[in-house]
């Protein structure tokens, strides 16, 4: 899939969940607050992107700006270049 109109095709990077030992007893239904930010690997850029990125770069963006598109049973993830906060 080739992105257009300043969009970036990405692959979200899932961080492994850590189990921490603690002396504090928490309720069984307690969930740690999730970060609103996520990492992704850049797969492809639209030709009119002004952000200086390359395929393979890791970027930080806000999770809610990620667009999921399913085509023929395969998920593609797009974000607009304006929502890229930085490169790792």
Using the predicted structure, report yes or no on whether residue 20 has a pLDDT greater than 80. no
Q: Is residue 30 part of a domain?
A: no
Whether residue 82 lies inside any domain: the answer is yes
Q: Is 46 within the bounds of a domain?
A: yes
Look at residue 28 in the predicted model and tell me its pLDDT.
81
CB 59 within 8 A of CB 86: yes
Number of domains in the chain: 1
Any idea which of 4-8, 24-28, 33-37 has the lowest mean pLDDT?
24-28
In a domain, 26, yes or no: no
User: Cα–Cα distance between 52 and 45 in angstroms, integer?
Assistant: 10
Give me the domain span that covers residue 1.
1-13+35-88
Asked, for residue 86, whether it belongs to a domain, the answer is: yes
CATH code of the domain in which 52 resides:
2.30.33.40
Q: In this structure, is residue 22 part of a structural domain? A: no
- Please give the model's pTM, rounded to 2 decimal places: 0.80
Q: Has residue 21 been placed in a domain?
A: no
- Under 8 Å between Cβ of 44 and 74: no
CA Rg value for the chain: 16
Beta strand residue intervals within 1-88, DSSP E: 7-13, 37-45, 58-62, 67-71, 74-80, 84-87
Q: How confident is the model at residue 21 (pLDDT cuts 50, 70, 90)?
A: confident
Q: Is the pLDDT of residue 46 over 90?
A: yes
């Amino acid at each position: 899939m080739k992105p257009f109109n300043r969009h970036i095709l990405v692959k979200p990077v899932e961080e492994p969940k850590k189990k921490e030992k603690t002396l504090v007893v928490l309720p069984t239904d307690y969930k740690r607050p999730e970060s609103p930010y996520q990492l992704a690997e850049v797969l492809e850029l639209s030709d009119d992107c002004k952000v200086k990125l390359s395929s393979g770069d890791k970027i930080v963006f806000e999770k809610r700006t990620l667009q999921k598109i399913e085509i023929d049973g395969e998920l593609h993830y797009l974000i607009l270049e304006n929502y890229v906060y930085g490169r790792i």
